[in-house]
Structure 1
Amino acid sequence: MMITVINSIRLPEPICVAEARALFLQTAPQYQQLPGLIRKVYTLSEDGATVGGVYLWRSREAADALYTPQWNARVAEHYGAPPTLVYLESPVVVDNISDELIAADEKPLSS
């Protein structure tokens, strides 16, 4: 089963899009070619007070390999606040760039 993880970080102070872009570009290379990661989208709330990401993973195991206590500490240091993670099953993904409709196997999230 594919997994989507939504990461949310409430910043100590709001930032603008240019600041967010600069922060995101500092960490983006570490996610390139990361085993099991299909896609990561960086996010910034309209008021600039919350940043985060939406990650699409091939499996829960691949996601868990990233979200370690060390990763949480690096994120908290980089953004000045700890992340909050929400895990969601993603049984079907529509990818309009690759023109694909991807259906995951039926293995549940809890296994």
Structure 2
Amino acid sequence: MIGVLVTFTQPDKFDRSTIAKIAGELREPFEGMAGLRLKAFTLAEDGVHARNFYVWDDEEKARAFFTQEIVDKVTGVYGVPPKIEFLDIAGLVDNSGT
């Protein structure tokens, strides 16, 4: 299992409604995506950082997803290029089934 943290930094601050709109418009392609367990669209309290957090069951699929084409696409959507970090998930608590 691998996590991916994608961070967009906007010094002028992101608007929460803009991030919510992006989440709504981009949700569908991720539903049922092979190897992807979950994705969260988030906004830091300071409004400067929008972060997308992914949990993948398949590291190969996770790494293959983040192509230059995807980076270019999300740069256009968010207006700034992302910083992409791959994280080893040592353990996970998932209460979604309860």
| TM-score, normalised via structure 1 length | 0.81
Q: Could you say which residue in structure 1 is the equivalent of 2:66?
A: 67
Amino acid at match of 2:76: E
Q: Could you say which residue in structure 1 is the equivalent of 2:95?
A: 96
Maintained 8 Å contact 1:6/1:55:
yes
Q: Distance between the aligned counterparts of 1:40 and 1:25, measured in 2?
A: 12
Q: Distance between the aligned counterparts of 1:9 and 1:84, measured in 2?
A: 7
Q: Deviations over 1:35-78 (max 9, x none)?
A: 10000011101121211211000121010121000000000011
| TM-score, normalised via structure 2 length | 0.90
Maintained 8 Å contact 1:12/1:81:
no
Q: Could you say which residue in structure 2 is the equivalent of 1:108?
A: none
- Listed as ranges, the gaps of 5+ residues in structure 1 are 100-111
SS in 1 for 2:13: coil
Number of paired residues? 98
Q: Distance between the aligned counterparts of 1:19 and 1:6, measured in 2?
A: 19
Q: Distance between the aligned counterparts of 1:79 and 1:19, measured in 2?
A: 9
Superposition misfits of 4+ residues, deviation over 3 angstroms: none
Q: Could you say which residue in structure 2 is the equivalent of 1:56?
A: 55
| Aligned ranges 1:1-111 → 2 under 5 Å | 2-11=1-10, 13-99=12-98
Q: Distance between the aligned counterparts of 1:84 and 1:43, measured in 2?
A: 14
Q: Distance between the aligned counterparts of 2:96 and 2:67, measured in 1?
A: 31
SS in 1 for 2:18: helix
Q: Which structure has the greater CA radius of gyration? A: 1
Amino acid at match of 1:33: G
Structure having the larger proportion of residues in strand: 1
Amino acid at match of 2:49: T
